[in-house]
């Protein structure tokens, strides 16, 4: 295991920034190439931008820009920076991949397989975007010109969910209903790694600062780690019913941060498996996606219509 320096743990201060009403559904969030935060409003059918600020308290301030999609029922889900300086996102209800420039120009590309339900998406080392198809057991690849290639998985009913690039330049993804982690290289060769725990139902996955992939098991209440050799280690959370949902890494501190959707908490885990948890101000806030912002704070999308900001060490 690659050793990563861990800075002192501390209890972070938490600020809340209202960004929508409770019906819009802030879901996934990422840091954009323009220094702003970009997030999806899954129920409102919009992409929102929170511009960088400069206030003395470190919070991002300024006007929230909201960009309506067509149709509004397309359910924008996961969003990620692309290799072309734009933001790319999945539209899980109308089965498209979306693209939005930092100036707000929107385009979309239909996925060839009907009813595929694209969800997770990430930029890869080959200069393309790779995404999961929840309903059709496929992994997709879209280049910046909008050309899509699809790769069938060797399992059925697996519900591929989140996807992330690994240190080996391959793509690693969670198979929520197959209780497994998958790997696909740029040529489409696929390997499936079953998890030790039944009904683990993995969702979020991220490259860790220790050279492994870290993921959450929403069904089992655990954090998982998988090395490049396929070896899996699992770390039970104090509340096994907390339903961890998303996870992201902070390379500066060596920590991975995750949301507990069912418990209204945010947690962190060291490469050695030391876990700490922090209560969000509203217990039923339904935290989903999270990202480290350009100001080195942790930002969490809360489905109640807020973005939470946690000061990192």
Please give the positions annotated as active site.
288
Please name which of 249, 238, 173, 244 lies closest in space to residue 207, comparing C-alpha atoms.
249
At 301 the three-state DSSP class reads strand
The upper half-sphere exposure of residue 118, i.e. CA atoms within 13 Å in the direction of its Cβ, equals 31
104 close to 86: Cβ distance less than 8 angstroms: no
Nearest CA-CA partner of 215 in 241, 264, 179: 179
At 276, list the tokens. Answer: 């700490």
Whether 217 has a binding-site annotation, put simply, is no
DSSP for 32-56, please give it.
-TTS-EEEEETTTTEEEEE-----T
Can you tell me the distance from the alpha carbon of 58 to that of 252, in angstroms, rounded to the nearest whole number? 18
| Tokens standing for residue 133 | 């198809």
Structure tokens, 251:
């390379």
How far apart, in whole angstroms, are the C-alpha atoms of residue 10 and residue 98?
38
Closest by CA to 172, choosing from 217, 124, 136, is 124
Chain centroid to CA 207: how far? Answer: 11
CB 277 within 8 A of CB 12: no
Long-range contacts, stretch 155-159, CB < 8 angstroms, 24+ apart: 155/180, 155/192, 159/134, 159/135
Residue 92: which of 107, 75, 78 has the closest Cα? 75
User: Does 135 count as an annotated binding residue?
Assistant: no
Ligand-binding annotation for 303, yes or no, is yes
- Report the binding-site residues for substrate: 245
- Report the binding-site residues for Mg(2+): 286, 303
């Amino acid at each position: 295991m690659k050793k990563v320096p861990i800075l002192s743990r501390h209890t972070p201060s938490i600020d809340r920034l209202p960004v929508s009403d409770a019906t819009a559904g802030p879901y996934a969030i990422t840091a954009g190439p323009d220094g702003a935060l970009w997030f999806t409003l899954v129920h409102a059918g919009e992409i929102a931008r929170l511009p960088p600020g400069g206030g003395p308290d470190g919070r991002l301030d300024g006007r929230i820009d909201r960009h309506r999609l067509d149709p509004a029922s397309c359910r924008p889900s996961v969003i990620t920076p692309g290799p072309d300086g734009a933001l790319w996102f999945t539209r899980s209800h109308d089965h498209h991949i979306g693209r939005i420039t930092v100036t707000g120009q929107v385009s979309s590309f239909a996925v060839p397989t009907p009813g595929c339900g694209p969800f997770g998406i990430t930029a890869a080392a080959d200069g393309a975007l790779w995404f999961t198809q929840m309903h059709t057991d496929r992994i997709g690849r879209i280049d910046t010109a909008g050309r899509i290639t699809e790769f069938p998985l060797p399992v059925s009913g697996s519900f591929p969910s989140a996807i992330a690039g690994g240190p080996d330049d391959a793509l690693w993804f969670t198979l929520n209903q197959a209780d497994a982690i998958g790997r696909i290289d740029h040529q489409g060769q696929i390997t499936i790694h079953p998890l030790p725990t039944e009904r683990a139902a993995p969702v979020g996955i991220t490259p860790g600062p220790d050279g492994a992939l870290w993921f959450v098991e929403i069904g089992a209440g655990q954090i998982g780690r998988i090395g490049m050799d396929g070896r899996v280690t699992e770390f039970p959370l104090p509340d096994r019913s907390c339903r961890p949902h998303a996870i992201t890494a902070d390379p500066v501190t060596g920590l991975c941060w995750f949301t507990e959707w069912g418990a209204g908490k945010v947690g962190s885990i060291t490469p050695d498996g030391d876990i700490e948890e922090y209560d969000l101000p509203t217990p039923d806030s339904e935290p989903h996606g999270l990202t480290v912002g350009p100001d080195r704070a942790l930002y969490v999308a809360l489905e109640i219509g807020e973005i939470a900001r946690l000061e990192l060490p």
